[in-house]
Amino acid sequence: MEILMGFFFILVIVSAVAVAELRDLLAAALALGACGFFVGILFFLMMAPDLAIVQLIVEIMMVVVLVIALARTHRKSSEPESAKTTLALGVIVACVFILFSVAVVPLMTEFGSPQYNPEVSQRYIDEGVENTGSQNLVTAVLLDYRAYDTLGEIVVLFASVLGMSLVLRKVSKRMAEGKECL
Amino acid sequence: MNFPYLAALALFSVGLYCILVKRDLFKIIYGICLMGYSINLLLISLGYVWGGTVPIISGSSTAVPVDPLLQAMVITAIVIEFAAVALMVSVAIRLFEQYRSTDVKKIRRLRG
Amino acid sequence: MSLIIQTVSRGITPFIFVYAIYLILTGHTSPGGAFAGGVAIGLLIVLWYAAFKLSTAERRVSCFTAHAGRILGLLGFLTMGTIALLLGKGFLENFLPKVAGHLTMSGVIILLALGVGILVGCETVLIFYYLFGRRPKGERR
């Protein structure tokens, strides 16, 4: 299990580097999809099947949205920053990575050990089924204990689609003539 | 053995690099996506317990389930991230129609 | 848009729909949940768009229906919370009888899941319609 997880973590990072470095935006979007699928598999390996389902379906949607957007714009990525700036920023990001991995990660609890704050989660695990009548504790937390969170989330979704309707209000000439974008 | 935390941190660094160095709007959106994945992975690996089962209680099993609270929060985060990406993409399309380019250096000029 | 793709997509449409409804309605006993189910409903639009034309998808789920659905989902969610408030409980509290492990007796969870599922599905449909450059009838610039 450990080796399998490590393998998929490496795949996630490799595809993330591909996303950052590919010059073709369509290829980078597909690499982003691959990265999301590996993240979904990792969720499944870490005992979160609900999350795996949501991540896989949302990832498909995200790739489709990006492909439609690229069809409406163009495929070729613009030039990155100059070589000197790239090197300087890369060194800064690498320094931040090394600093955090040396200073912060050793302070965190060991991977797979019982938790930092067990009280809340332990209460949900112990009493969740009697309190809510839901065997799936994730749904119990999502729609019963913390329904306010879900309310806030669906309001955010509502507002973002409202924003899209405002931003994409003006239709380009080709589409106004009734042609389809792809 | 903290490799999931290190991997999540590395993914975050790649996303940050992508945002800082690339000048294409779509590359910046991809970098934000990568950072979102890394945060989700970090939260889920914080909640994992060795030998834990899925947080679905059936019958009277004595196995320890993994943390359901973090999973519920990450579900919320994934869906909100999707909505945010859709909004960002529509802004990028709008900017392309106005300036015929997605380079952030070229769309600096204000135009009505 | 070949004949094979059209026939296959016509065949698998009901299965995807049933799977989405299953994910929404049994989120409390098995993995799944309202969000996954809602987004799966939205994926049907992409399938119809890829296999047929956009007008076919619009004839099945019009922009008006999607707008009505998302408002209905949000109002349903808020109504469930308000009913609990009127009955003397807290906002969004579970006020219906609940039996652990029963398929339908999980109180208000199943109704809230239905509201969230309808809302998320309609939002996804609308995201695609806006990206395809369509606007609901009667909305002028």
Q: How confident is the model over B51-79, as a mean pLDDT?
A: 84
User: For residues B26 and A133, what is the distance between their CA atoms, to the nearest angstrom?
Assistant: 44
Query: Is the pLDDT reported for residue C19 higher than 60?
Result: yes
Strand partners, A112: B49
For B90, the closest of C29, C35, C131 (CB atoms) is C131
Q: What is the pLDDT of residues A23-79, one digit of tens each?
A: 899 999 999 999 999 999 999 998 889 999 999 999 999 999 999 999 888 888 877
Choosing among B12, B25, B32, B33, which should be mutated to test the A contact, i.e. which has the most A CBs within 10 A? B33
**Beta carbons of C119 and A144 less than 8 Å apart:** no
Q: For helices C34-51 and C3-25, what crossing angle results, to 10°?
A: 170
Amino acid (one-letter) located at A135: Q
| The dihedral sign for the CA sequence A111, A114, A117, A123 | positive
Closest residue of A to C34, CA-based? A139
**Beta carbons of A150 and C112 less than 8 Å apart:** yes
Residue A10: helix, strand or coil by DSSP?
helix
Q: Is residue C136 part of a domain?
A: no
Amino acid (one-letter) located at A9: F
Whose CA is closest to C140, among B97, B98, A170?
Answer: A170
pLDDT band at C140 (very low <50, low <70, confident <90, very high): very low
Helix (H) or strand (E) holding C23, with range, is: helix C3-25
pLDDT band at B60 (very low <50, low <70, confident <90, very high): low
- Judge contact between C43 and A62, C-beta under 8 A: no
Q: Does A144 touch chain C (CB under 8 A)?
A: yes
**Beta carbons of C30 and B56 less than 8 Å apart:** yes
Q: Is residue C54 part of a domain?
A: yes
B65 phi, psi to nearest 5 deg: -80, 160
Scanning A14-73 for CB atoms below 8 A from B yields 16-17, 19-20, 25, 28-29, 32, 35-36, 39, 42-43, 46-51, 54-55, 58, 61-62, 65-66, 69-70, 72-73
Q: Is residue C138 part of a domain?
A: no
Q: Which chains, if any, share at least 3 CB pairs under 8 A with chain C? A: A, B
Whose CA is closest to C75, among C17, C32, C106, C118?
Answer: C118
Q: Does B61 touch chain C (CB under 8 A)?
A: no
Whose CA is closest to C44, among C63, C27, C61, C24?
Answer: C61
Query: What token pair was written down for B18?
Result: 């992508």
Residue B108: count of CB within 10 angstroms of its CB: 8
**Chain B partners within 8 Å of A17 (Cβ):** 14
Residue, of B98 and B10, whose pLDDT is higher: B10
Q: What is the pLDDT of residues C23-65, one digit of tens each?
A: 998 888 888 888 899 999 888 888 888 888 777 778 888 888 8
At A44 the pLDDT is 92
Closest residue of C to A51, CA-based? C32
Closest residue of C to A47, CA-based? C31
Tell me the shortest Cα–Cα distance from C92 to chain A, in angstroms. Answer: 7
Choosing among A68, A156, A161, A168, which should be mutated to test the C contact, i.e. which has the most C CBs within 10 A? A161
Residue, of C14 and A135, whose pLDDT is higher: C14
Q: Is residue C78 part of a domain?
A: yes
Residue A160: helix, strand or coil by DSSP?
helix
Query: Is the pLDDT reported for residue A152 higher than 50?
Result: yes
SS3 content of chain C, % helix, strand, coil (to 5): 65, 0, 30
At B89 the pLDDT is 93
User: For residues A36 and A61, what is the distance between their CA atoms, to the nearest angstrom?
Assistant: 11
Query: Is the pLDDT reported for residue A175 higher than 70?
Result: no
User: For residues A128 and A138, what is the distance between their CA atoms, to the nearest angstrom?
Assistant: 10
Domain count of the fold of chain C: 1
Q: Does A53 touch chain C (CB under 8 A)?
A: yes
Query: What token pair was written down for C5?
Result: 């793709």
Scanning C107-136 for CB atoms below 8 A from A yields 107-109, 112-113, 116, 119-120, 123-124, 126-128, 130-133, 135
Whose CA is closest to A174, among A24, A72, A50, A100?
Answer: A72
Q: Is residue C141 part of a domain?
A: no
Contacts of B74 (CB under 8 A, 6+ apart): A48, A51, B40, B43, B44
**Beta carbons of C101 and B58 less than 8 Å apart:** yes
Q: Is residue C137 part of a domain?
A: no
User: For residues C106 and C67, what is the distance between their CA atoms, to the nearest angstrom?
Assistant: 29
Amino acid (one-letter) located at B56: I
Q: Is residue C61 part of a domain?
A: yes
- Neighbouring C-alpha atoms within 13 Å toward the C-beta of B26: 34
pLDDT band at C13 (very low <50, low <70, confident <90, very high): very high
Q: Which chains, if any, share at least 3 CB pairs under 8 A with chain A? A: B, C
Q: Is residue C11 part of a domain?
A: yes
Q: Does A96 touch chain B (CB under 8 A)?
A: yes
As separate numbers, helices (DSSP H) first and strands (DSSP E) second, chain C gives 5, 0
- Judge contact between A59 and A36, C-beta under 8 A: yes
User: For residues B55 and A136, what is the distance between their CA atoms, to the nearest angstrom?
Assistant: 6
Residue where the block lists tokens 């995807």: C16
At C1 the pLDDT is 72
**Chain C partners within 8 Å of A62 (Cβ):** none
Return mean pLDDT, chain A.
86
**Beta carbons of A143 and C109 less than 8 Å apart:** yes
Can you tell me the ipTM of this complex?
0.90
Query: Where would I find the H helices in B1-112?
Result: 3-21, 25-47, 68-99
Return mean pLDDT, chain C.
85
**Beta carbons of A101 and B87 less than 8 Å apart:** no
**Chain A partners within 8 Å of B66 (Cβ):** 46-48
Domain residues for the domain of C93 are 3-131
Q: Does C84 touch chain A (CB under 8 A)?
A: no
Query: What token pair was written down for C46?
Result: 């992409």
A178 phi, psi to nearest 5 deg: 95, 5
Residue, of B57 and A30, whose pLDDT is higher: A30
Question: DSSP label at A145?
Answer: I
Q: For helices B68-99 and A118-132, what crossing angle results, to 10°?
A: 100
User: For residues B30 and B34, what is the distance between their CA atoms, to the nearest angstrom?
Assistant: 6
Amino acid (one-letter) located at B49: V
